[in-house]
Amino acid sequence: MTSVRVAGVGSTHFGTHPERTSRDLFAEAGVSALADAGVPHADVEFVHYGNFAGGLVEGQGHTGPLAAEALGVDAPATRYEAACASSGVAFREAVRAVRAGDADVVVAGGAERLSHLDTAETTAALASAADELWEGRAGATFPAVYALMADAYFGEFGGDRTDLAHVAVKNHANAMGNPHAQFQREITVEEVLDAPPVAEPLGLLDACPITDGASAVVLVSEEYAAANDVDAPVGVTGSGQGGDRLALADRAHLARTPAATEAAEAAYADADIVPGDVDVAEVHDCFTIAEVLALEALGFYEHGEAVGAARAGETTRDGRLPVNLSGGLKAKGHPVGATGTSQIAELTALLRGDHTNSDAVPDAEVGLAHNAGGTVASAVVHVLEVVA
Amino acid sequence: MTSVRVAGVGSTHFGTHPERTSRDLFAEAGVSALADAGVPHADVEFVHYGNFAGGLVEGQGHTGPLAAEALGVDAPATRYEAACASSGVAFREAVRAVRAGDADVVVAGGAERLSHLDTAETTAALASAADELWEGRAGATFPAVYALMADAYFGEFGGDRTDLAHVAVKNHANAMGNPHAQFQREITVEEVLDAPPVAEPLGLLDACPITDGASAVVLVSEEYAAANDVDAPVGVTGSGQGGDRLALADRAHLARTPAATEAAEAAYADADIVPGDVDVAEVHDCFTIAEVLALEALGFYEHGEAVGAARAGETTRDGRLPVNLSGGLKAKGHPVGATGTSQIAELTALLRGDHTNSDAVPDAEVGLAHNAGGTVASAVVHVLEVVA
């Protein structure tokens, strides 16, 4: 099995770009990634593209070939859709293609454009990541289903809104120096607690923003890297995917995300590591409670133990396991289809030592990315390691 | 590399099922396929699901996990979208997963629901398979872009509407005994020529219908088949994918589909065969002209030579290369996201000898499936062979 390297990464600024199309955003991220890799466009063999709601919000399906065209490459292209995990899945299948020897160079990425919609349209688009028949029609917005999970967590394990507020404060602090981040301003626990409620117990500052943006990653085989003198010190050593019922009503526990555990266990086995080997992690914090659930599902904490992690400083930049040094979805932003490969891009830079927050993890060798779709009905976990 | 077998296939009736959801349709096809395979639900390791317009027409994204749930399996699931080639791509990535040793059992399939829409909504949904910015906004419907291709073909190579009418007549005749087919009635050349124009030179009977339906295929490794005494005489020996610009204006030729050639050449090389080895083919005949373009792109005819093939009886059930014995998209129907795996299902039955039209190809050993997205901006080709 061929070893897979991350040769280059790229990201647009995450924010509001209502005047730009998804394809335009993806082109910027993809061209940046190829330039970062020093890989010529002509060598790209497949484009794997994550996009969630293009059909619904731009009237455009079949966005794989459009992504390839925007990037300026002649290569077969496929769109992957798993809600907020769309580009995580696109990346995973790119890893498989290189490992299987089907390609030496694959660009995986994603893009999303949402800010041109009005609030009702955005709410409907995001709700389509959950179960339209059994949740959406019952009036459950996407924040509402996460609020149910937060409420269940508090009821089963304890913790409170202040614990969650520390997650938001941490991730905003981490984003301060990130030029791609939507929010580059620090917030306080008091601001989070005083923010308007979105869906109790979650307030506005417990939620990630609506974001337009794109990200891309260039994956190459180690043979290609060696033969073409491509500097690609970070390898993809573990990949896993998990699935669950879309509707919360069909789950055994509202405060657990077993799909993430399934994905993580597969990725750990693939990489032959244990959770304790991970030095730095990017996890899917679409809401503050989601980061807590992720840390537990990934095996970094026992169930019920992670809610106080940010407050205790364990996951801050100076903590024992820095989480979301990029700013996370919370502060870097969450352009749905772009988030999975954004995490890979940020983690790669952190491990290479050229991220604005690399100084927080100067000796990091092993990174983990956790990308989730919906209320974690889809989960994708990747392990990246410094291999050269 | 593990050898991949088709262990079972399933399909709903293709037609109008406005009272059913996509997930319900997929459940029927998937359960049928598992029953046909004799493979227990618990052994399914991934579900690969093709769906084109669920976000746009059902307000439901993230349909991978829903498909797995509907099927009654606990397994990670991903949705693939490449317009009309969605389940072709889903199948291709399932083949790769089994070959790579990542899974022994994968269900690949797809579903689509369109008939509940009004004509304007359907037209908009289908147009989103082409370029919304450069074609859709210019008023080009999906039939219109294929009409441009037909017109270009006639201009460059000759041929006429009567030649194309024979494609429709042939495919309707083939569908007569297919219980899954939307149309089980013979038509005449005169009826095709007299049908109302949809987009000149294409008339209503040059076009496939609007269809609701689902299909599914169970893929297994040869090791799994042997260990579990699963009867799976048909193997997947070749897989290829090609890509092209979405907008016709960006192409060098309107009357050629190089993405299909790219996909076919990769699949032929993978299977180590040449076009002349193919005994029976299912090709993507969303319009009559599309079958002609496919036969040329796949290497069965030189450019400009296939337009008279059906009229000459070369591709009829008694011809030297029977094409679309299922009835094709034209007469079996075209539930967009379900079509790719429907072709695989029909071809498998033809090769196994249990298809209603197997008597037309009693000695067939090699089959080819060609699934195209949009105006062939995406193409997926698979080679199936009797291997046991």
- 3-state SS string for B2-63: CCEEEEEEEECCCECCCCCCHHHHHHHHHHHHHHHHCCCHHHCCEEEEECCCHHHHHCCCCH
| pLDDT single digits (tens) A313-336 | 999 999 999 999 999 999 999 999
**B79, A74: Cβ pair inside 8 Å?**
no
Q: Domain coordinates of chain A in residue numbers? A: 4-117+209-380
**B62, A259: Cβ pair inside 8 Å?**
no
Q: For B189-206, b where at least 16 C-beta lie within 10 A, e where not — what string?
A: bebbbebeebbebbbebb
Query: What angle is formed at CA B39 by the lines to CA B37 and CA B43, rounded to 5 degrees?
Result: 145
pLDDT at A122: 87
pLDDT at A137: 86
Question: Testing the interface with B: which of A62, A86, A116 to mutate, by most B Cβ within 10 A?
Answer: A62
Give CA A125 to chain center in angstroms.
Answer: 18
Looking at beta carbons, which residues of chain B come within 8 Å of A137? none
pLDDT at A133: 84
| Measured distance CA(A128)–CA(A344) in Å, rounded | 25
Q: Is A286 a catalytic residue?
A: no
Looking at beta carbons, which residues of chain B come within 8 Å of A56? 55-56, 59, 61
| Measured distance CA(B182)–CA(B198) in Å, rounded | 20
Three-state DSSP at A329 gives helix
**Catalytic pick from B13, B48, B284, B334?**
B334
Looking at beta carbons, which residues of chain B come within 8 Å of A122? none
| Measured distance CA(B85)–CA(B100) in Å, rounded | 22
pLDDT at B60: 85
- Average pLDDT in the A273-278 region? 98
**A128, B79: Cβ pair inside 8 Å?**
no
**Catalytic pick from B48, B84, B172, B208?**
B84
Which residues make beta-bridge pairs with B383? B238, B368
Question: Testing the interface with B: which of A96, A246, A270, A382 to mutate, by most B Cβ within 10 A?
Answer: A246
Classify residue A209 by its DSSP letter. P
| Measured distance CA(B248)–CA(B260) in Å, rounded | 15
Residue pair A172/A189 in contact (Cβ under 8 Å)? The answer is no
Q: pLDDT over 90 for what percent of chain A?
A: 89
Residue pair A181/A266 in contact (Cβ under 8 Å)? The answer is no
- Average pLDDT in the A96-101 region? 96
Which residues make beta-bridge pairs with B11? B215
Q: In whole numbers, what is the pLDDT of chain A averaged over residues?
A: 96
Classify residue A99 by its DSSP letter. H
pLDDT at B122: 87
| Measured distance CA(A251)–CA(A109) in Å, rounded | 31
Q: In whole numbers, what is the pLDDT of chain B averaged over residues?
A: 96
- Average pLDDT in the A170-199 region? 97
Three-state DSSP at A256 gives coil
Count Cα atoms within 13 angstroms, Cβ side, for B279.
16
B378 to chain A nearest CA, in Å?
A: 7
Looking at beta carbons, which residues of chain B come within 8 Å of A80? 78-81
pLDDT at B161: 98
Residue pair A386/A234 in contact (Cβ under 8 Å)? The answer is yes
- Integer Rg of chain A from CA: 19
Q: Is the pLDDT of residue A381 over 90?
A: yes
Classify residue B378 by its DSSP letter. E
Q: For A246-256, b where at least 16 C-beta lie within 10 A, e where not — what string?
A: bbbeebeebbb
Report residue B18 as tokens. Answer: 């406005």
- Is-above-0.90 flag for pTM? yes
From B135, which residue of chain A is nearest by alpha-carbon distance? A60
**B131, A246: Cβ pair inside 8 Å?**
no
Q: What are the residues whose beta carbons fall under 8 Å from the beta carbon of B37, sequence distance 6 or more?
A: B7, B8, B218, B220, B230, B232
**Catalytic pick from A84, A166, A284, A370?**
A84
**A62, B242: Cβ pair inside 8 Å?**
no
| Measured distance CA(A9)–CA(A29) in Å, rounded | 8
Looking at beta carbons, which residues of chain B come within 8 Å of A89? 78
| Measured distance CA(B329)–CA(B193) in Å, rounded | 19
Which among A83, A89, A259 has CB closest to B61? A83
**A378, B96: Cβ pair inside 8 Å?**
no
A159 to chain B nearest CA, in Å?
A: 30
pLDDT at A41: 97
Q: Is A180 a catalytic residue?
A: no
**B52, A75: Cβ pair inside 8 Å?**
no
Report residue B100 as tokens. Answer: 């790579």
Q: Judge: domain A4-117+209-380, CATH 3.40.47.10.
A: yes
pLDDT at A120: 87
| Measured distance CA(A350)–CA(A364) in Å, rounded | 8
Which among A60, A75, A76 has CB closest to B132? A60
Question: Testing the interface with A: which of B81, B84, B122, B244 to mutate, by most A Cβ within 10 A?
Answer: B81
**B68, A243: Cβ pair inside 8 Å?**
yes
For the four alpha carbons of B29, B72, B99 and A348, in that order, the dihedral sign comes to positive
Complex confidence, ipTM: 0.94
pLDDT at B132: 83
Burial degree of B145 (CB within 10 A; 0-12, 13-18, 19+)? buried
| Measured distance CA(B150)–CA(B375) in Å, rounded | 11
Residue pair B33/B10 in contact (Cβ under 8 Å)? The answer is yes
Q: What is the pLDDT along chain B (388 residues), one digit of tens a residue?
A: 789 999 999 999 999 998 999 999 999 999 999 999 999 999 999 999 999 987 777 788 899 999 999 999 999 999 999 999 999 999 999 999 999 999 999 999 999 999 998 988 888 888 888 888 888 888 899 999 999 999 999 999 999 999 999 999 999 999 998 999 999 999 999 999 999 999 999 999 999 999 999 999 999 999 999 999 999 999 999 999 999 999 999 999 999 999 999 999 999 999 999 999 999 999 999 999 999 999 999 999 999 999 999 999 999 999 999 999 999 999 999 999 999 999 999 999 999 999 999 999 999 999 999 999 999 999 999 999 999 8
B121 to chain A nearest CA, in Å?
A: 11
DSSP conformation letters of A338-379? GHHHHHHHHHHHHHHT-STTGGGSTT--EEEEEEEETTTTEE
Residue contacts between A and B (CB atoms, under 8 Å):
177
Report residue B216 as tokens. Answer: 């599914």
pLDDT at B347: 98
Q: Is the pLDDT of residue A56 over 80?
A: no
- The identity of residue B72, as a single letter, is G
| pLDDT single digits (tens) A198-256 | 999 999 999 999 999 999 999 999 999 999 999 999 999 999 999 999 999 999 999 99
**A378, B99: Cβ pair inside 8 Å?**
no
- Average pLDDT in the A167-172 region? 98
Q: Name the H helices within B176-227.
A: 189-194, 222-227
Residue pair A43/A18 in contact (Cβ under 8 Å)? The answer is no
**B131, A66: Cβ pair inside 8 Å?**
yes
Q: Is the pLDDT of residue A55 over 80?
A: no
Q: What are the residues whose beta carbons fall under 8 Å from the beta carbon of B289, sequence distance 6 or more?
A: B146, B149, B150, B153, B164, B202, B206
